Structure 1
Amino acid sequence: MSLLFSPLTLRSLTLRNRLWVSPMCMYSAVDGVPGDWHHVHLPQFADGGAGLIIAEATAVVPEGRISPHDTGLWNDVQREAWAPIVRSIHDRGAHAGIQLAHAGRKASTWWPWAEQRGSVPAAEGGWPTVAPSAIAFQGFADPVALDGAGIEGVVTGFADAARRALDAGFDLLEVHGAHGYLLHQFLSPLSNLRSDAYGGSLENRARLLLRVIDAVRDVAGGAVPILVRISATDHAEGGFTPEEAAIVGGWAVEHGADLIDVSSGGLVLHQQIDPHPGYQVPLAEIVRQGGRVTTGAVGLITTAEQAEQVIASGSADAVLAGREWLRDPHFGLRAAHELGADVAWPPQYLRARWR
């Protein structure tokens, strides 16, 4: 029996397998509203066998968008646009999650295929950015350090977006605390030089993340699972470490998180990363063992055998893939076929199930 295709229960939600679609930004929204692209893009993975599909980093406030074309959940128009996408995922047998995010100092940037790089100027639709400290990401505009009222606004923004996500029908919520975005900026001593209750010690640097988890849990109640994505290392001297990540992961679970989605990097340009197949899986194992928490693994996981081994080895409890789903939206069905797993196929595809 394939462990990858065994169910996983988080609170009241039982996911049909452990091969999930990682949140991936599409930079294709207008005023934060998902459109036709998202209606086709996300449900196709449900037909392809995914157990869980997590929609892209979705801004909880307008200034939290990575780019002007990011999705949002700061108003009810956006909520109503998400609802039919969620229904379509459900109709195809999978569960739907959404990643709630604030980009902090990495907001207001050009999308990947734009000719320009760096921050979008106000004259072309950009906006001022915020951060724990007034330290810019290299090549980006200087951010403003958040004051007390600004921090309260971030917490409220996450809670309000969580409420709209649940109203839209999402089964699961993920708090984005990774990849150099706002909550990660607070966690790392490379970007957080504050001297108040949100800076200095690890406990202080984790305070905003934990407050956000508390606020989202208050909205979600006791039944809805919450995931937290973290970058377990900055891959840079003096930055956030895997050992700290394990501690923070344990704290996150104490505050109501159910699974730590373990990634890495994204905070600074001088990071030193050696990307190779499964290169971030050991980080998920460190957080899983050190924090005694349920984890998801990511990072160049591209084959059925590789994904199965992540689960079988005890390195993580779920596999979140990104690029491989883009290359093959039926990665789940292909993996099940290769592993000989007996899973449900769309009736339209049954002729491809065994031969």
Structure 2
Amino acid sequence: MADEQKFPSLSRAGLDRRGTIWGLLGVAVLLALTFIGSDGLVWFDAALVGYLFGMIFMVFGVIYRYTVWIKRPPTAMLNKRGWDAFKQRKAKNAAALPSLVATNLLAQGFIRRRSTARWIAHQLIFWGCILAALITFPLTMGLLHFESVGQQADRYQIYASRVGTLHFDADSIIGWIIFHGLDIAAVLVLAGVFIFLRRRLRDPGALAVERSGDFLALAGLFAVSVTGLFLTVSSIWLEGRFYSALNTIHALTVVLGLMYIPFGKLFHIFQRPGNLGVEYYKRANLEGAPAVCTRCGDEFASAQQVADLIEVLPQVGFDYSLQGSADGDGSGNYQHTCPRCRRAKVALAQSTRVKGFG
């Protein structure tokens, strides 16, 4: 009952109202783009309708979960502080935004500092998924289609809705890359999956913190990639044998994968941009007043960060106020103690409890 009072979205009343509205608006936008972009469904491929249903479910689920997630006290506080920090120096922060996007979102340098192998795996899966999405989503929505040029059966033109763009020969290098773009994406994803599996099966530290959702995400990426490659194998080397069955299996894995995204580990794809606000928050804290430990007098963190912790923690069920402190002003709170002194207090408390060590 306490959790329901703190988080109304988790109550027995049902779905979060705001999340539902935003989710339905997102679905409406997706359907409108599909109708308009496919020229009134002229270029919509009915064979891809299953993929479209998967996209509809994914869009609603992602928007709904993001709306609920962003309202939780810790996330709401970080979101607020991030925007506050950004607005303090708009011009400077806006100029720094491309660099932050490149390093934090695209290059993912923070992962490379932990492990080069993990960084390579993340990059392979990241760019493989980006490439697959850039091809699959426009094709499914009818925003992208190919038309033969004149009477030449081996020459095509790419159309973005009604707008004609690139011409290419099917037998050229460009043509091969375009027609095998999803195969390239599958190979990139599989390479990343194998690196992750090798690490998770051989690294004792990774095994110690392993969760079922970690393997489920890798299994989903593996299934989508392998079944997609099987379609190419059937077309090129098996003269189309088993293609219909393989296509059904592949479509099922893709649709299930899209439906899984809002609920599984892959949802962090949509949470990751929030780290940009966290970076602005960190920079503002470095320039602000420091917090001073009430036990040793040393500076140990940002005063703003400590104040935010004191405000947020009680909202999620963790109140570190000390007995005798004034209510609501943050005085006498355990958060005003530096990490070193916290460890010392734990050791002293344990020593008192067992009446001394040794």
Note whether the superposition's TM-score is higher than 0.5: no
Higher strand share: 1
TM-score, length-normalised on structure 1? 0.22
- Give the structure with higher Rg (CA): 2
